[in-house]
Structure 1
Amino acid sequence: MHGIHTIDTGFGRPSFDAAYLVVERGRGAFIDSGTTHSLPRFLDAIAAADLEPRDIDWVILTHVHLDHAGGAGELMRHLPNAMLAVHPRGARHMIDPSLLVAGANAVYGEDAVRRDYGQIVPVDKDRVIEADDGFVVDLAGRAMLCLDTPGHARHHMAIHDERANAFFTGDIFGLSYRELDSPGGAFIIPTSSPVQFEPDAAHASIERMLRYEPEAMYLTHFGRVTEVKRLANDLHEQIEAMVAIARRHATADDREQRIATDFADLYVDRAHRQGVTLARDAIVKLLQIDIRLNAQGIVVWLDREGAAR
């Protein structure tokens, strides 16, 4: 649809982590890059779209977390004409990814980072474009507007595709897995993973995207969703609920575990009210990584909020 091709990057599990190839008049742009292990899938996507690697003009990153951007350096090596567009706060991490890798090692552990993301390759600084708020990527005349959308991360941008009237949202418009679709529609949760979650900024970024009246959102986790206004409202409600949960347990010695347990209860309850028929254990298993990361991230926010008072 609209020349947009969904790529399952192979990270995590099937239908967990997506990137996109946008094709216009024989030219292409990738939105996000997956991990270094994802490279064969990107090259296959180019061939499936009847393109050559030289036909790709852009790699556009929503943000520089490794499941979105870890493969950018290796991918760029195979795209001789492509430029990389990234939020100004993320550009230096693409040119020198050492701090990015160190941060991931601190969260996940070195062995897991090596296994899950592969070797993180730097991008030549002469091929990196800092996409300030309002920067427009021109893909063969197709306007791709880059908007600063903090809340999940301060180096996050969402890309509005004028032709499709849709956003490529990275993580700012939450997570919606197709296994949790029901007659009530798509089920969605926010992502507050470490280390820059900011609830007020997340609310504002969601509202900013809604002002464009998009017909669809293309999520990294996972795929195209519609019912945009309803999903946005769901995200707003859950962000508020998650903040309330975090504050309730802020002084507990085991606050992260208490928060994670309450997040699981929140998501399961909302999923069941939406019409998801999976049992609680199945929903928690599907969301277990996100529950853990959301709890970790909101604890970081709690500490930062406390330090600011």
Structure 2
Amino acid sequence: MTSQGIHTIDTGFVRPGFDAAYLIVHEGHAAFVDCGTNHAVPRLLQALADADIGVSEVDWLILTHVHLDHAGGAGELMPHLPNARLAVHPRGARHVIDPSQLWAGALAVYGQEVMEKAYGQLRPIPAERVVEAPDNFVVDLRGRPLRCLDTPGHAKHHLAVYDAQANVFFTGDTFGLSYRELDTEQGPFTLPTTTPVQFDPAALHASINRLLALKPEAMYLTHYGRVENVEHLAVKLHELIDAMVEVALDVGERPDRHAQLKQALTELYASRLAEHGWQGDRAALMHWLGTDIELNAQGLAVWLDRGSR
């Protein structure tokens, strides 16, 4: 799908329609927003070829944040792009220059075999190619401003990218998840993501409101694709953030907390999807949202352990 020079690239991570990177083409040059994992690099290079853009005409890779499904392939991609610089939140810059801490953290969760298969080795990026993008930093794509807004809530090192020409945001995970398999006649269904370890509900509410203040006509989500009717979706996101926080506080410190969180989140999402007119059964819900339920339960538990603040 192409609109205003924006190309959606399925990175192939996990399943089709799960993980997107974006290519913005303007005046014969280009910028990527997010890049997926190492395994996505051939798809990104093919997207350039399909858009008739040479690798030397890519000026930027912008990372919304450094979680590996968004940024794990940056070190593999950058050597293919001789003239590109990488823009990243100041809190994330050190992790792309030296990804050893990112690797160690993910390794502790997933193990060596899964890490190698899902992500591949993380490669460092020379510091001179890395540009820190603080709040309101503007990436200039040949006269097309791409404005980076500090948008914590999902992660402290998260930014969202506002493309004024197209009047759209590239939201990373700030505007939640929205899988096309959950669309109904009511439109897309959006779901907040509390992936460990920096979920902050108050900050996430504020970040969503900050995106809406610019009145974008659409959001481009990493998971997955373009969604419109953004004011309505934001209302639903705010409601679900509050409902998920209530779930976490209700479960509290029970000995079987993780299982209780997963069960309560499953019931919550099933109820909201039914209201949305989705006809899938419980097995289908777990097929599409099982991984997110697991990660959201983990993230809410970390938030509880941090003192629910």
Per the normalisation by structure 2, the TM-score is 0.98
The match for 2:47 is 45
Distance 2:287 2:77 in 1: 32
SS at match of 2:46: helix
> For residues 1-309 of structure 1, what are the structure 2 equivalents within 5 Å?
1-305=3-307
Distance 2:232 2:258 in 1: 29
Off by >6 Å, runs of 4+ in structure 1: none
| Structure 1 range deviating more: 278-287 or 213-222 | 278-287
The one-letter amino acid of 1:274's match is H
Q: Which runs of 5+ in 2 are unaligned?
A: none
Distance 1:131 1:171 in 2: 17
Q: CA deviation at 1:255?
A: 0.7
The one-letter amino acid of 1:187's match is F
Per the normalisation by structure 1, the TM-score is 0.98
| Structure 1 range deviating more: 268-277 or 56-65 | 268-277
SS at match of 1:205: helix
Between the aligned residues of both structures, percent identity stands at 59
SS at match of 2:199: coil
Q: CA deviation at 1:106?
A: 2.0
Distance 1:225 1:113 in 2: 31
Q: Which runs of 5+ in 1 are unaligned?
A: none
Residues matched between the structures, number? 307
Q: CA deviation at 1:107?
A: 2.3
Measured against aligned partners, the alpha-carbon deviations of 1:12-50 in whole angstroms (never above 9, x if no partner) come to 000000000000010000000110011100100000000
Q: CA deviation at 1:210?
A: 0.5
Measured against aligned partners, the alpha-carbon deviations of 1:255-291 in whole angstroms (never above 9, x if no partner) come to 1110111111111111111111111220122100000
Cα contact 1:268–1:284 (8 A) shared by 2: no
The one-letter amino acid of 2:124's match is P
Distance 2:89 2:220 in 1: 18
Q: CA deviation at 1:229?
A: 0.6
When the two chains are superposed, the root-mean-square deviation of aligned CA atoms in Å is 0.8
Distance 1:248 1:119 in 2: 40
